[in-house]
Amino acid sequence: MQGIWSQMSVSYKDLCLFPDVQLHVGFKMPKFDLYDEHGDPVVHLRVRSLSGAALEWYTRQDVSKWYTWDDMAQVFARHFQYNIEIVLDHMSLTKMEKNPNESFREYGLRWRQQAATVNLPMEEKEMVEYFLQAQEPTYLGNLITAMGRPFNDVVKMGEIVEDGLKSSKIMSYSALKVTTQAIQNDTRSLLGQKEHDDVDMVISGSGHGSTGPPHQYTQPQPQPQTYP
């Protein structure tokens, strides 16, 4: 640690990015929407606001190489260009699932916000179709009748399904599958026992309703031959 601290300076002039900026008495720093490395970097350059990984990246740069604003802006925009190159498409929306810790309304709002960023704008009817494709079987089975209705109506119907699942008025497809599988296993077990009993009955000779002892097969004895 001593070696590290010996190479680091904690003086104001070394820590401050703009040590020569003079602020008037009573100046209040405006509030910014901080950039955390998500979203279009050019938009955030307009307000010069950074946070999280973006702020960490910025503080590690050698600002002495930036003689003008354009020098800094070009480096910054190139570094975070991936945020606008990797964009959602229609199929990506179908993979946006509801998180366990969010309500269906929160999920619907999050999905709708992401749908608005898709390059090719969608009509509401198309949006509803992709939203339904993103649903897990329980919600899809109960919301399929909402096809063609406004997006807000679909979200409201989803909330009703959500309440039904919580109150056990609606059984989830996963729970229904487990219950059905258990019933099938019990049925197979009973049928298997019956078949086993039937085999025992045949072996014991009582397969046709006979109550006597099993039939005994007797080897025929040769008859003596007679001559005229």
Q: What's residue 30's pLDDT?
A: 64
Give the residue ranges of the chain where pLDDT is below 70: 1-21, 23, 30-49, 82-87, 187-228
End-to-end CA gap in the chain: 129
Q: For residues 100 and 52, give the distance between their C-alpha atoms in angstroms, rounded to a whole number.
A: 26
Residue-level pLDDT at 62: 84
pLDDT at 157: 95
Q: What is the pLDDT of residue 184?
A: 75
pLDDT at 102: 93
Enumerate residues 6+ apart whose C-beta is below 8 A from 174. 137, 138
Measured between alpha carbons, how far is 33 from 176 in angstroms, rounded to an integer? 47
What are the tens digits of pLDDT across the range 127-186?
999 999 999 999 999 999 989 899 999 999 999 999 999 998 888 877 777 777 777 777
Residue 163 one-letter amino acid = D
**Torsions phi, psi of 97, nearest 5?**
-95, 160
pLDDT for res 4: 40
Residues 94-132, buried b or exposed e (16+ Cβ, 10 A)? eebebeeeeebeebbeebeeebeebeeeeeeeebbebbb
Q: Residue 57: its pLDDT value, please?
A: 79
